[in-house]
Structure 1
């Protein structure tokens, strides 16, 4: 069983990140990662080795966007529920996404649907499913980590960006004590030392992709008790985890 996360750049001009977790009897282990994925064909090539096996893919990008303008119902619900935590999203519509170069999430979801992956979460825990889900890391972090406000680490000055990323990294390391746990490899346990802005951005994207993968694996492990559906397949569907202790 594979749980895969994609931090999908809305513009194909920017790199995307992917992380693959493999199920190892009672925990997740990091099996593969790539922080510099380019065009859609490169992303699909990264996913290809896992698509015919049981897998659940969590993508941080809008996958169903029928509305030309305005916002989707699921986005309005998320803003209402999580806005006070600064975890509400942008109003998503087709016109706005075209300004970034196209509806990448929707195109990717359709390509995966054509390969036989469903666009809905599993109906029971730990089934051998093949599904792709839209996930949103900020609300998921609020729920799973019990945050009053999100950890800020995006679009900040270099010093504040680095501090925020280190806090986010430390929070992700605590997933080793969650149910199900994930075991991080040694190279992941320390933040980059020095390096360029591009290196730090790649690390940010890698961390976000890893959390998307964990959300997907969490949803697979717990089934309906461990997630909430926000929206529907007609107007847009976002899967938000529910915190289950013990």
Structure 2
């Protein structure tokens, strides 16, 4: 099984984070870059060997013209290890007006065409190829409860040092996981460099890469039975799949 995590930018004019794990949890590809949909497909094809799970941080099914999706409302009522988390409200009017597209929908259709073994599902089953929508901010709380509360994304509500410190805490936890899964020295060096060098200028670049990893790692843990699958909504009206450590 290959696990693909995509922190998808709203348009191809902004960088996306992409991370691919093998069946042992080792990183095959990890990068933040300006990526066309065709670039994302080509990278996945390079590592695709049959069974394939893809998790995307972006709304994939948005039937509602205005307001919020039922899955968004359900998620806001959920508590992730006791924490209430906000979530982006998705509707067609806002996304099309602001970004000129609903990129997650477009990419999903391309992926389903190119990788026919995958299905778009709100209820991923172990060892089954699939595409899901997920939410990395919640995955931090679901997979690293010992770190919470944590603010690894800059929101300009607090001094930058607060967000820098919390991102370093998360990166240290990720580094520990990568050592346990025997990742390549170049991958470990990359994380160590991020820990040492993170600042206001490069924070978003690192954040996108981290979110891509979280999407892939959540899939990996759910597929291995190490995290509970928590699903909100359905394939017709929109859905979010979340992972919480058992």
Q: Give the TM-score band, short-chain normalised.
A: 0.7 to 0.9
Question: Which residue among 220, 238, 241 is the counterpart of 1:239?
Answer: 241
Distance 1:191 1:82, change over 3 A: farther
Superposition TM-score, scaled by structure 2 size: 0.84
Distance 1:164 1:118, change over 3 A: same
Given that residues 2 and 48 in structure 2 are in contact (C-alpha distance below 8 angstroms), is that contact kept between their aligned partners in structure 1? Answer: no
Asked whether 1:171 is paired with 2:170, we answer no
Per-residue CA shift, 1:88-138, capped at 9, x if unaligned?
Answer: 202111111121231011111111112312012433x3x2x3211111122
Asked whether 1:4 is paired with 2:4, we answer yes
Within-5 A mapping of 1:1-246: 1-23=1-23, 27-51=24-48, 53-82=50-79, 85-98=83-96, 99-115=98-114, 116=116, 117-120=118-121, 121-123=123-125, 125=126, 127=127, 129-146=128-145, 149-155=148-154, 156=156, 158-175=160-177, 182-184=181-183, 185-192=187-194, 193-194=196-197, 197-222=200-225, 226-244=228-246
Distance 1:131 1:70, change over 3 A: same
Distance 1:162 1:101, change over 3 A: farther
| Cα distance in 2, alignment partners of residues 138 and 233 from structure 1 | 22
* Structure 1: gaps (5+ residues): none
Given that residues 143 and 241 in structure 1 are in contact (C-alpha distance below 8 angstroms), is that contact kept between their aligned partners in structure 2? Answer: yes
Given that residues 77 and 230 in structure 1 are in contact (C-alpha distance below 8 angstroms), is that contact kept between their aligned partners in structure 2? Answer: yes
Query: What is the CA-CA distance between 1:141 and the residue it aligns to?
Result: 2.2
Given that residues 26 and 178 in structure 2 are in contact (C-alpha distance below 8 angstroms), is that contact kept between their aligned partners in structure 1? Answer: no
Query: What is the CA-CA distance between 1:10 and the residue it aligns to?
Result: 1.3
| Cα distance in 2, alignment partners of residues 171 and 194 from structure 1 | 17
Distance 1:195 1:210, change over 3 A: closer
Superposition TM-score, scaled by structure 1 size: 0.84
* Structure 2: gaps (5+ residues): none
Distance 1:150 1:46, change over 3 A: farther
Query: What is the CA-CA distance between 1:164 and the residue it aligns to?
Result: 2.5
Query: What is the CA-CA distance between 1:221 and the residue it aligns to?
Result: 1.7
Distance 1:168 1:114, change over 3 A: same
| Cα distance in 2, alignment partners of residues 19 and 202 from structure 1 | 13
| Cα distance in 2, alignment partners of residues 5 and 237 from structure 1 | 17
Distance 1:150 1:65, change over 3 A: farther
Query: What is the CA-CA distance between 1:197 and the residue it aligns to?
Result: 4.8
Per-residue CA shift, 1:18-77, capped at 9, x if unaligned?
Answer: 011011xxx311111221132222222222224452111111111111111100011001
Aligned length: 234
RMSD: 2.6
